[in-house]
Amino acid sequence: MTEKQKHNLGGVLPGGTALVNKTGSWRSVKPVWDSKKCIHCMLCFNACPEHCILTKKDKTGIKRGETNMDYCKGCGICAEICPVKCIKMVKE
């Protein structure tokens, strides 16, 4: 069952194609965020290697939002760095 494939010279792709590959499926544990405990220090936002911590804006400034589970691989760096321990890693 082979389908003919066409590729650009040298396997060159358009920019931004890494987004197509949703790597969230690699995850075995997921971060669960307690929004009430969170002090919005944004340390997790800076530490996330996949830029999965989404942000939102309100009157008081930029706040931490939900985690983008399409690309979160469950590395747990956010949970490790959190000063108030408001992120817990739980089994998928």
Query: Using CB under 8 A as the criterion, what x/- string covers residues 27-66 for binding other proteins?
Result: ----------------------------------------
* Segment contacting other proteins by CB under 8 A, of 4-12, 31-39, 55-63, 70-78: 4-12
Helix (H/G/I), strand (E/B), else coil: 35: coil
Contact 74, 27 (CB under 8 A): yes
Helix (H/G/I), strand (E/B), else coil: 44: helix
Question: What number of chain residues touch other proteins (CB under 8 A)?
Answer: 13
Q: What is the 8-class DSSP label of residue 28? A: S
Give the residue from 17, 14, 72 showing the smallest Cα distance to 48. 72
Query: Using CB under 8 A as the criterion, what x/- string covers residues 9-28 for binding other proteins?
Result: xxxxxxxxxx----------
- Binding residues (CB under 8 A) for other proteins: these are 5, 7-18
